[in-house]
């Protein structure tokens, strides 16, 4: 079996997605997600200009060898662009392998370790009352875990709110130049404990409560936050400090028992090796699409398993339905699964992506179609051309740049 064609499809049904299609001489095709939010065309070009010529003529069944060829074989390796491109190839090859075998990918990974994949939904609100109503909506839908974000009084814009041009669903990439937001730590740290108290007071402790700090605090501020949230028994606080500083987590750890999660921006095991081996975190949030595909993600998760760290993969809307489905296969199979983020996708995504995954009682299942289980309608994709979109940036009140 040989790879005959490698095609990159850039489309924007609801938001921008970069999708990879690998075709073979036996008619089997595989799909991968190469979307890197706000930097989409760099991955598209990396694939078209530098990866596609390396793949045509190769045996698509040699997934590990192709992974090593694209990673070790590149002198300039790692980084989000490279690893997102490798991820797209890897997922497409797993899709092809599943289709050849006539099995869903989770079966190739060792089979199901659980009945379904627990996800957390995203509740948000401009006021505490709005937020409480939104949490109730998720609990009514059967969710067992909810991420809570509410507008911080005193800040004009807070991460995680809906209400931009995309409507109610949160979509941070908005505007053909980056929006500029203001950040102040004080009001945020003062607001959060009362917010979590209100959620627990209204709905009790019978579900998992999560929160995303989104890289804004210093280690000692994160320590204070973790400590102040201990009574509300968080499932985790996510990205408490900028993720590249692995040592920062040691300081946070010394001060609080609130579980820590990090990793959506990591793209290889080298970004989180110390965090995991020194048990500085509880959940590793690397994703299929940004951390080198199923092949590399499984390597990170096995390393985490050795050190008692569980998985909690990133699953925002900028990870396409192909990535979400691929994540579900991994989540269903690995022994140390923790939770999966699920943000959903913006209409009209279903015109382009035909998925087989299902949701029931707070759990997703990837379905039993051979491969990853997602088809892409290329004619529909062509109706939604790419539009440049940036994530926002943050500045402190004095104008200094801050992490967003």
Binding of residue 290 to ligand EZ4 (CB under 6 A): no
Give 55 or 88: the residue with its C-beta nearer to ligand EZ4: 88
Which residues, 6 or more positions from 133, have their beta carbon under 8 angstroms from its beta carbon? 125
Residue from 21, 97, 144, 214 binding ligand EZ4 (CB under 6 A) = 214
What is the residue-wise DSSP string for 363-378?
EEE--SSSBT-EEE-H
Indicate the residue whose CB is closest to ligand EZ4. Answer: 316
For 119-150, give the DSSP string.
EEEEEEESSHHHHHHHHHHHHHTT-SEEEEEE
172, interface contact from ligand EZ4, Co ion, none, CB < 5-8 Å by kind: ligand EZ4
Between 122 and 365, name the residue whose CB sits nearer to ligand EZ4: 122
Spacing of C-alpha 131 from chain mean position: 23
Rounded to the nearest whole angstrom, what is the least distance from the CB of residue 94 to Co ion in the complex? 25
Q: Please, are residues 105 and 372 in contact by the beta-carbon 8 Å criterion?
A: yes
SS3 of residue 46 by DSSP: helix
| Among the residue ranges 23-31, 182-190, 289-297, 310-318, the one whose residues contact ligand EZ4 (CB under 6 A) | 310-318
Q: Which of 165, 148, 135, 22 is nearest to 87 (CA)?
A: 22
Check if the beta carbon of residue 94 is closer than 8 Å to that of residue 371. Answer: yes
Catalytic residue among 122, 208, 211, 214: 214
Q: Least distance to Co ion from the beta carbon of 54, Å?
A: 33
Q: Is 212 in the site for ligand EZ4 (CB under 6 A)?
A: yes
Pick between residue 210 and residue 381 the one whose CB is nearest to Co ion: 210
Contact 339, 312 (CB under 8 A): yes
Respond yes or no on whether the N-terminal peptide bond of residue 348 is cis (omega within 30° of 0): yes
Piece of the chain touching ligand EZ4 by CB under 6 A; list 197-205, 221-229, 314-322, 380-388? 314-322
Q: Reply yes or no on whether 159 is catalytic.
A: yes
The answer to whether residue 214 is catalytic is yes
CA distance 149 to 152: 9
Decide: is 172 part of the binding site for ligand EZ4 (CB under 6 A).
Answer: yes
Q: Are 364 and 328 in contact (CB under 8 A)?
A: yes
Identify the helix (H) or strand (E) that includes residue 355.
strand 353-355
Min CB(403)–ligand EZ4 separation in Å: 11
Q: Does 316 bind ligand EZ4 (CB under 6 A)?
A: yes
Nearest-approach distance from CB 119 to Co ion, in angstroms = 14
What's the min distance (Å) between Cβ of 214 and Co ion? 6
* Contacts (CB under 5 A) with Co ion, residues 236-295: 264
Q: Which is nearer to ligand EZ4, 310 or 314 (CB)?
A: 314
Tell me how far, at minimum, the Cβ of 72 lies from Co ion, in Å: 30
SS3 258: coil
Q: Report the Cα 200 to chain-centroid distance in Å.
A: 26
Q: Please, which of residues 181-220 interact with Co ion by CB under 5 A?
A: 212
Enumerate the active-site residues. Answer: 159, 214
Interacting residue ranges for ligand EZ4, rule: CB under 6 A: 37, 172, 212, 214, 264, 314, 316, 318, 341, 391
């Amino acid at each position: 079996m040989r790879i005959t064609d490698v095609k990159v499809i850039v489309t924007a049904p609801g938001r921008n997605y970069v999708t990879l299609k690998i075709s073979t001489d036996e008619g089997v095709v595989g799909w991968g997600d190469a979307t890197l939010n706000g930097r989409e065309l760099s991955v598209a070009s990396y694939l078209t200009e530098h990866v596609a010529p390396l793949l045509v003529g190769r045996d698509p069944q040699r997934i590990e060898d192709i992974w090593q060829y694209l990673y070790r074989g590149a002198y300039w390796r790692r980084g989000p662009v490279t690893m997102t491109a490798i991820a797209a190839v890897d997922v497409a090859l797993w899709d092809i392998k599943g289709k050849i075998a006539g099995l869903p990918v989770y079966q190739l990974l060792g089979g199901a370790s659980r009945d379904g994949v627990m996800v957390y939904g995203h509740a948000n609100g401009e006021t505490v009352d709005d937020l409480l109503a939104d949490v109730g909506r998720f609990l009514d839908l059967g969710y067992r875990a909810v991420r809570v974000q509410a507008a911080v009084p005193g800040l004009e814009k807070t991460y995680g709110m809906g209400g931009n041009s995309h409507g109610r669903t949160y979509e941070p990439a908005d505007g053909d130049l980056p929006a500029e937001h203001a950040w102040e730590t004080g009001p945020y740290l003062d607001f959060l404990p009362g917010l979590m108290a209100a959620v627990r007071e209204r709905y009790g402790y019978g579900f998992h409560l999560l929160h995303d700090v989104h890289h804004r605090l210093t280690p000692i501020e994160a320590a204070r936050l973790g400590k102040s949230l201990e009574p509300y028994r968080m499932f985790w606080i996510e990205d408490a400090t900028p993720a590249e500083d692995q040592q920062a987590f040691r300081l946070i750890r010394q001060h609080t028992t609130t579980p820590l999660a990090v990793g959506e921006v990591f793209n290889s095991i080298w970004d989180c090796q110390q965090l995991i081996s020194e048990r500085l975190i509880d959940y590793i949030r690397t994703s299929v699409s940004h951390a080198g595909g199923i092949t590399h993600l499984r390597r990170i998760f096995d390393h985490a398993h050795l050190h008692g760290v569980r998985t909690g993969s990133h699953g925002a809307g900028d990870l396409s339905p192909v990535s979400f489905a691929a994540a579900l296969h991994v989540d269903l199979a690995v022994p140390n699964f923790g939770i999966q983020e699920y943000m959903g996708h913006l209409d009209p995504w279903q015109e382009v992506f035909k998925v087989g995954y299902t949701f029931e009682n707070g759990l997703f299942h990837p379905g039993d179609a051979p491969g990853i289980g997602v088809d892409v309608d290329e004619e529909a994709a062509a109706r939604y051309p790419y539009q440049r979109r940036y994530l926002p940036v943050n500045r402190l009140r004095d104008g200094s740049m801050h992490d967003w």
